[in-house]
Structure formats: structure tokens, C-alpha cells
Structure 1
Amino acid sequence: MHPDSARELKALLLERLRSMPSARDHGPGEGPHVAVGLAPAGGGRARVAVRLEREADRAVLPDLGASAGSELDVRVIGRVHALSSPTPGELQGRVRPLRPGLSVAHPDVTAGTLGGLVRVPGGLAVLSNNHVLAASDAARVGDPVLQPGPADGGSAADRVATLAAFQRFSAEGNLVDAAVATLDDGVEADPGAVPGGPLTGPLPRPDGIEPDEEVEKVGRTTGHTRGRITAVEVDGVAVQYDRAIFSFDDQVEIEGLAGGFSAGGDSGSVIWRSRDRAPFALLFAGSDTGGSQGTGVTFANPLATVLDLLAAEWVAELRG
């Protein structure tokens, strides 16, 4: 169907799901978990992507009629987890100057990924997830950030940045899992040191992210991987963190082209489009099962939303 018609059907399905007794009887973070977005159908058309945690969750899907039901792309993807920690050995070691893909973390976190460099009011900063740089809201602005992260041997001597801002989680719903930390004095960085060269393509707005695009990322655990966008505008993505489950709306779903696209420790990676090297999303969560290959799916925040909320500007490369 036309993408606008798919958006209308998505809205109807979400309204029905949220009004059902099974949804009202559970508190925030409790099951069943059903995420709904848009999936490619070829020829510029779209279907409604429905993602279930368990096969049994099919029972909560409302009857929309035969014609509408045929426009649903329903898949079981398993539990979605925030991807902190356990290999590309070099990405997990101590590396200077800093560059995208390296191990990084708050001292109280295992390890995640340095996604890229951004400019904030306080200067040049590293971009990653809240659960990587800000310990899932447990940190304070001014806390240190280490490279590599503690899981990879990082200690106080490996401090490279200072936590400057993060978007707090809300039980009412979330758009991003993101944080920035300004570089400490004397710490050098090379934001353009990405496989294939700097990410200088035009930054798309969330509604400009198209399904079926081939994409890439470089992350602390799985290194440089390639994938494909399998759904966009996905609402109701329930993500398991250490202490709670938080729901996210307007997310991007990605599958790997050859095996999994990401694994634990890749959280914070910036994802770019292969065709024009445009950075468009911040990786933060994934599942180990489900997807068309059974190797799980990855979820990411639209990068434009991340930058807007953190008052940050993408830095593709530093010119001397």
C-alpha cells in the first residue's frame, strides 16, 4: 500500500493495541511487547511492520479484517536488550587519537562504542548512548569517560572525556538513548577515520530514512558490518536495561546482510547509508533471535533527533 496508507493503518493498530484490556492490565515495561512501524513492500510501497517478543504475543493482535491483515509484516524477534559489553582487538584497546568504533564507557559501565564526534556548547565531544556514557541515568554531569571501557581494561589513567549531557529515560516513553562527553584537554580525535572515509553525506531527517537502504556501522564488538533497513518509524520498542524496561518510539530496525548486524558492546555506534555515506542513526539495542535470518535485529535512534535533543552538531572531519 502507499506509505501514507500504511501510516494510517499503523496508527489504527497502535490505537487498538493500547485500548485492549491486555495492554491496560500491565504496567510500564511489562508484557506483552508489540512494536509497530513501516516495512518495505517494493515499488515504493509499504506494509505495517509488527514485531513481537514471543510467538504467544500474536494472540493480542486485534482483528483488522482480511484486507488489512494482508498488509501486516509480522515477525517474532525475541527480547530486545541494550547492547553494552562482550572481536576486533584493535577497537577494544587503548587508541589515540580517538576515532569512531572504539571501546568507550563510564567507569561504572562495561563497554560500549564511541559513535562519532559532535560539537556542543562546551566544545568537541564524543557521542554514544546514555547507557554507555551515563550509566543509564546513574551518572552525573562531570563524570569521567574512559577509552577503552572498563571491560577492555580501561582505568582512571585512560580518561579521555567528561560527561556533558544525556537524555534521561522516561517510563512514559522515549525517542533516544543518547549522551555526549566533551574531550579533555590534550585528547586528540580523528572523526573522519571511518572505514571508507569521513561520513560527509547529508544528514536525513527521521521522515527521510527509507526502508530497504543498505547501511554500515563500525562497533567495538563486531567491527565493520553491513546491513539493510527493514523497518522505520517503529513505535513501542520495549528494551531491557539492567534495572528496567523502557519503551521507544520512531525507531529504525536493521538486519545484517551476512549474519548479525550488531552484538553486545556495539551500542553507541553511528550507522551510515552505504550509497552516500550519510550518518543517519545511533545504534542502541538489539535482539539475539528473530529477523529474516534468525540472527536478530538491531534498533537505532534517528541521528537527527539525537542531535536536536542534545543541542549537538555532527562533525564529519576536522580540517587543519
Structure 2
Amino acid sequence: MHVDTARELKAALSRRLSQAPPGAVVASDAPGSWSGVALGLAPVGPQQVHLAVRVLAEADAAQVLDALDDAARAEVDVRVIGPVRPLRSPTPGQLQQRTRPLVPGLSVAHPDVTAGTLGGFVRRTGTDGLLVLSNNHVLAASDAATEGDPVLQPGPADGGTAADRIGTLTAFERFVATGNLVDAAVAALDDGVDADPAGYPGGPLLDRVVPADEVDPDETVEKVGRTTGHTTGRITAVEVDGVGVQYDEGTVFTFDDQIEVEGLSGSFSEGGDSGSVIWRSSDRAPVGLLFAGSSTGGSAGGGVTFANPLATVLQVLGLTFVAGA
């Protein structure tokens, strides 16, 4: 319908909703004085729109549509969107606490490690249920651990003890002196430990992981990590070879085909953010698994961050990313 006609219909329906007694218009229990219905315009062509109707529940949609004639019903875009809440990002303090169900960004670690970040959730052929994804140096203590070792949430640096066990180390890619592609490990969740794979700031990520050869420089990206929380950055280099990473014990391992990220203002990550999943801001497609960084050298200050292409991590460990949508 023409945009002016849609505005008239929107105004008329808004009046009806505002004048009706409580409970007479919608079926759901909307909070406060809200009717439970939001109305807008959804463009479909030049000066042509549909009336956008957003409701809490399916029953609400039926009652709103009953108020329209057949011609108007053909010109509406109705969607059941459920409860609407502020999309707040968790603070570092919240991410460092014991949290159930588990969500991406939380403090997590092997008992012999200080703390890193729970990046997200995956599945692996031959292993039942969800697995936690993070780094080798977070979940497997830089090759020092044994499969079957416990994993804690929060990590020991944040007060985690044996009582905070969430699962067991299931698989990790061991380091070699040169030519490493990933710093990655997974842990199977214990029975009764619930998880919300969609619990990223802003909602679930796409289930399609960006292929390693399709990661483009200059893309804006985001992550949520145990130390710095939800941050935004920009990919400044791809296919970076020879990245030397000095681990706690002083050993340097080099990595090839890595992604470099800089924060848009200050640091994109700091110590303890290792294991975070990085996603593109444009479409929320997962891109990388954060594993290391520097404190200097970034054009915006705060150094640079390095990440394994997430597609490579999944291929090496035989994983499937779980978006949670």
C-alpha cells in the first residue's frame, strides 16, 4: 500500500489499541501498560510499504489481524518477536563470576591455568552433547594437560575451584616449534551443566563460519572476552605467517596463516581474553579464535591481537560450530 495509506492505518490501529480495556486487545500478558503490539512501516518498493506488526505471541497476532479487513490483511508484515529487552553487554566483572547456564565470554580454565575465555560451543563426531571451545593454553595448559582433566568456570584466577568444574578436556592440538595453525582445545560438558550457545552480546552468531580464504582485511569485528568484555576492532592483516608467541614457560612457538586485529579505540583484547570467538559486525558470521596479542604497535594504541581462522580450528579438530539460533 502507499506509505500515506499505511500511516493512516497505523494511526487508526494505534488508537484502537490505546483505547481498548486491558486484556481486550491482545492475548498475552504484556508488561505494564503496553498493549503488547508494536506498529511500523516495512518498505517493499518506491513509496510502497506494508504495515509492520510486531507482537509478543502468536495469539496476539490473530487478535490484531481480526481487527483488519481482508484488503488490509494482505498488506501487513506480522512477526512474533517475543519479549523485548535491552541488549546489554556483560561487564568483565560479570564474566569473571561463576555463571550458569554457560555463555560465551566467561572465565574458564584448566586447574593449572590462571584464566582464559570460553569462546563458544561446538560439536564433535564421537562425542555426545556440546563442547566448550577455547585455546590449548587455556584448557590444556599449553600441552601439559591430559585428556580427561577437569575444566573450571570460573578459572582459578577468578576463584574457581574443584566445585566449579563444568567438564573435561576432550581434545587439543599440540604445539610444534614452527608452523602452528591453531591454539585450540575443547572440553565436553558434564551432565547437568547447561549452556546457551546463543548468548553473545546482541544474540546468536551465524552458523556459517567464514572460510579462511574469505577473511578480508578492513572488516569490522567484535568479541566478548573475560578481561575486556565486549570490544570492537578491525582486521588489519590476514594470512600472517611467522607470528612468534612466547608462552608462560618462555617457549616461543610460531604460527602461520593468522588474522591480525586492532581495536578501534585502544586495545581489542588483553591477557585473559584468549579463547574468545571473533565475529564480523556486518553479518555476525564467526571469523576467528583469539589466542595472543601485543601491548604495543597498534595504530589506535593498545597493540594488536592475533586469531586463528575459526574455519581452520574446526577443520583441524573435526568440529562443527554451534550458533544457537
**How does the TM-score come out when normalised to structure 1?**
0.71
Q: Distance in 2 between matches of 1:194 and 1:239?
A: 28
1:28-177 paired onto structure 2 within 5 Å:
88-120=92-124, 121-123=126-128, 124-177=130-183
Shift of 1:201: 5.3
Select the residue among 197, 202, 210 that pairs with 1:204. 210
Aligned counterpart, 1:260: 267
> Would you say 1:271 and 2:275 are equivalent positions?
no
The answer to whether the 8 A contact 2:264-2:300 is kept is: no
Letter in 2 for 1:122: T
Secondary structure of the corresponding residue to residue 316 of structure 2:
helix
> Would you say 1:233 and 2:239 are equivalent positions?
yes
Secondary structure of the corresponding residue to residue 272 of structure 1:
strand
The answer to whether the 8 A contact 1:201-1:276 is kept is: no
Q: Distance in 2 between matches of 1:176 and 1:304?
A: 10
The answer to whether the 8 A contact 1:289-1:297 is kept is: yes
Secondary structure of the corresponding residue to residue 308 of structure 1:
helix
The answer to whether the 8 A contact 1:201-1:277 is kept is: no
Q: Distance in 1 between matches of 2:314 and 2:199?
A: 20
| Cα deviation 1:92-140 (Å, max 9, x = unaligned) | 0000000100000000000000000000121210000000000000000
Aligned counterpart, 1:52: none
| Cα deviation 1:214-253 (Å, max 9, x = unaligned) | 0000000000000000000000000010120000000000
The answer to whether the 8 A contact 1:162-1:184 is kept is: yes
The answer to whether the 8 A contact 2:233-2:263 is kept is: yes
Letter in 2 for 1:281: G
Q: Distance in 1 between matches of 2:242 and 2:177?
A: 12
Give the number of the structure with larger relative contact order, counting CA–CA contacts within 8 Å between residues 6 or more apart.
1
Aligned counterpart, 1:308: 315
**How does the TM-score come out when normalised to structure 2?**
0.70
Q: Distance in 2 between matches of 1:274 and 1:237?
A: 25
Unaligned 5+ segments in structure 2 are 1-90
The answer to whether the 8 A contact 2:96-2:158 is kept is: yes
Identity of counterpart residues, as a percentage? Answer: 74
> Would you say 1:299 and 2:273 are equivalent positions?
no
| Cα deviation 1:51-77 (Å, max 9, x = unaligned) | xxxxxxxxxxxxxxxxxxxxxxxxxxx
> Would you say 1:195 and 2:195 are equivalent positions?
no
Unaligned 5+ segments in structure 1 are 1-86
Shift of 1:205: 1.0
* Larger Cα-atom Rg: 2
Shift of 1:269: 0.1
Instruction: Quote the RMSD (CA, aligned, Å).
Output: 0.9
Q: Distance in 1 between matches of 2:178 and 2:116?
A: 25
The answer to whether the 8 A contact 1:104-1:112 is kept is: yes
Q: Distance in 1 between matches of 2:268 and 2:144?
A: 28
Q: Distance in 2 between matches of 1:127 and 1:203?
A: 14
The answer to whether the 8 A contact 2:204-2:324 is kept is: yes
Q: Distance in 2 between matches of 1:294 and 1:259?
A: 5
Write out the 4+ residue segments of structure 1 that deviate beyond 4 Å after TM superposition. none
